C-alpha cells in the first residue's frame, strides 16, 4: 500500500498566527520587566522631645429618643344587658291563677274627737327701763385734773430741788475736800519754811509745844506774830518767834480768793529730834 501526500490548505495561516502569538508574548515579557536598577534611598529619622497629644474627637451625642404617643385604644361603648326575667314553670302560673284572694273585711277605725282649741294668750312686752346715765360735772372734772397736774408739778419741782441741793452739797463737799487738801499742802510749806529758820536751843524737852497766831498780808508777808500758848520753855518760844519773823514772806496759793483762809494762821510747833 503506498502513502499518498495530500496538500494542506490552512497550514500557512496557522503558522503565521503562531508566530504572532509568540512575538506578543516575548514583547510582554520584555516590557513588563524593569531593567533599570535604582540605588536604595537613605532613611530619614525625626527626633521628638515629647509625644504629641492625641487628638480628642468629641463624642457624638445621640439625640434624645422621641417618645411616640401610644396608639389610642378605641372606646367601645358598654353593652346594655337586659336583666333576665324569671321564667315560671307553667304549673306555678296555673296555681297562682287558680288561687283566689281572700276577702278582707274593712276594719272601722274610730277617729279621735277633735281637740278643743284654747285661746292663746298673747303677752304684752314689758317695757324695759333704760338705766339713767349719771350726769358728769365737767367743771368739777377739769378742776380735779388741774389739781392733779399741780400736785405732779409740785412733786417734780421738789424732786428737782432735792437733786439740785444734793448736787450742790456734793460740789461743796468736793470743793471743801479740795480746799482742805490745798490748805494742808500750803500750811505744810509754811511750817517747813519757818522750821528752816529756827535755830534749835539746847535742853529743850520733847513735850514743849508753842502755839502762835500769825497775821499775813496779801503778798504773804508776816504782819504780826503773837504767842497764844507758851511751851514752858522760854528759849524754845523765842526761837520759834524769831524763825517766823525771819521767814518774812510765807508761801501762799496763787488764787487770790483763797487769801482769807490764810490771813490768820494758828500754828503749833514742837521740837524735832
Query: Tell me, what CATH number does 264's domain have?
Result: 3.30.1150.10
Per-residue pLDDT of the chain (273 residues; tens, 9 = 90+): 444 544 556 677 788 888 888 888 888 877 765 555 555 566 666 666 666 666 655 555 555 555 665 655 655 555 555 556 655 554 545 454 555 555 666 666 666 666 666 666 677 777 777 777 667 678 888 888 899 999 999 999 999 999 999 999 998 888 888 888 888 898 889 989 999 998 888 888 888 899 999 999 988 899 899 999 998 899 999 999 999 999 888 898 888 888 888 889 899 998 875
Do 255 and 179 contact (CB within 8 A), yes or no? no
Looking at the domain assignment, is residue 5 inside a domain? no
The three grid cell numbers given for residue 94, joined into one nine-digit string = 296555673
Looking at the domain assignment, is residue 243 inside a domain? yes
Rounded-to-integer distance, Cα 217 and Cα 9, Å:
191
Do 182 and 258 contact (CB within 8 A), yes or no? yes
Q: What is the DSSP string of the chain?
A: --------SSHHHHHHHHHHHHHHHHHHHHHHS--PPPPPPPP-----SSPPPPP-PPPPPPPPPPPPPPPPPPPPPPPPPPPPPP---HHHHHHHHHS-PPP-PPPPPPPPPPPPPPPPPPPPPPPPPPPPPPPP-HHHHHHHHHHHHHHHHHHHHHHHHHHHHHHHHHHHHHHHHHHHHHHHHHHHHHHHHHHHT--PPSS--TT--EEEEEEE-TTSBEEEEEEEE--S-HHHHHHHHHHHHHH-B----S-GGGHHHHSEEEEEE----
Looking at the domain assignment, is residue 24 inside a domain? no
Chain centre distance of CA 154:
46
State which residues form the domain around 183.
172-269
| Per-residue pLDDT, 1 | 45
Looking at the domain assignment, is residue 188 inside a domain? yes
Report how many domains make up the chain.
Answer: 1
Do 212 and 226 contact (CB within 8 A), yes or no? yes
Looking at the domain assignment, is residue 232 inside a domain? yes
Looking at the domain assignment, is residue 11 inside a domain? no
Looking at the domain assignment, is residue 194 inside a domain? yes
Rounded-to-integer distance, Cα 13 and Cα 150, Å:
167
Looking at the domain assignment, is residue 129 inside a domain? no
| Per-residue pLDDT, 117 | 64
The answer, as to whether pTM is greater than 0.75, is: no
Amino acid at each position: 500500500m503506498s502513502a499518498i501526500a495530500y496538500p494542506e490548505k490552512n497550514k500557512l495561516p496557522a503558522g503565521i498566527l503562531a508566530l504572532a502569538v509568540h512575538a506578543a508574548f516575548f514583547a510582554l515579557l520584555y516590557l513588563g520587566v524593569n531593567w533599570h536598577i535604582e540605588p536604595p534611598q537613605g532613611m530619614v529619622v525625626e527626633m521628638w522631645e515629647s509625644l504629641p497629644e492625641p487628638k480628642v474627637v468629641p463624642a457624638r451625642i445621640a439625640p434624645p429618643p422621641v417618645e411616640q404617643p401610644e396608639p389610642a385604644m378605641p372606646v367601645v361603648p358598654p353593652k346594655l344587658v337586659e336583666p333576665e326575667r324569671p321564667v315560671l314553670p307553667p304549673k306555678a302560673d296555673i296555681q297562682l291563677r287558680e288561687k283566689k284572694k281572700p276577702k278582707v273585711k274593712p276594719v272601722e277605725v274610730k277617729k279621735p274627737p277633735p281637740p278643743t282649741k284654747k285661746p292663746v294668750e298673747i303677752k304684752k312686752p314689758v317695757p324695759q327701763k333704760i338705766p339713767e346715765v349719771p350726769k358728769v360735772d365737767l367743771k368739777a372734772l377739769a378742776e380735779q385734773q388741774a389739781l392733779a397736774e399741780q400736785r405732779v408739778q409740785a412733786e417734780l419741782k421738789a424732786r428737782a430741788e432735792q437733786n439740785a441741793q444734793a448736787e450742790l452739797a456734793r460740789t461743796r463737799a468736793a470743793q471743801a475736800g479740795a480746799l482742805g487738801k490745798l490748805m494742808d499742802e500750803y500750811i505744810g510749806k509754811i511750817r517747813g519754811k519757818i522750821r528752816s529758820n529756827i535755830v534749835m536751843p539746847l535742853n529743850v524737852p520733847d513735850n514743849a509745844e508753842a502755839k502762835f497766831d500769825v497775821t499775813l498780808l496779801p503778798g504773804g508777808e508776816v504782819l504780826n506774830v503773837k504767842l497764844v500758848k507758851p511751851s514752858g520753855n522760854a528759849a524754845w518760844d523765842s526761837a520759834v518767834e524769831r524763825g517766823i519773823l525771819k521767814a518774812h514772806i510765807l508761801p501762799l496759793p496763787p488764787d487770790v480768793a483763797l487769801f482769807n483762809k490764810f490771813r490768820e494762821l494758828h500754828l503749833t510747833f514742837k521740837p524735832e529730834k
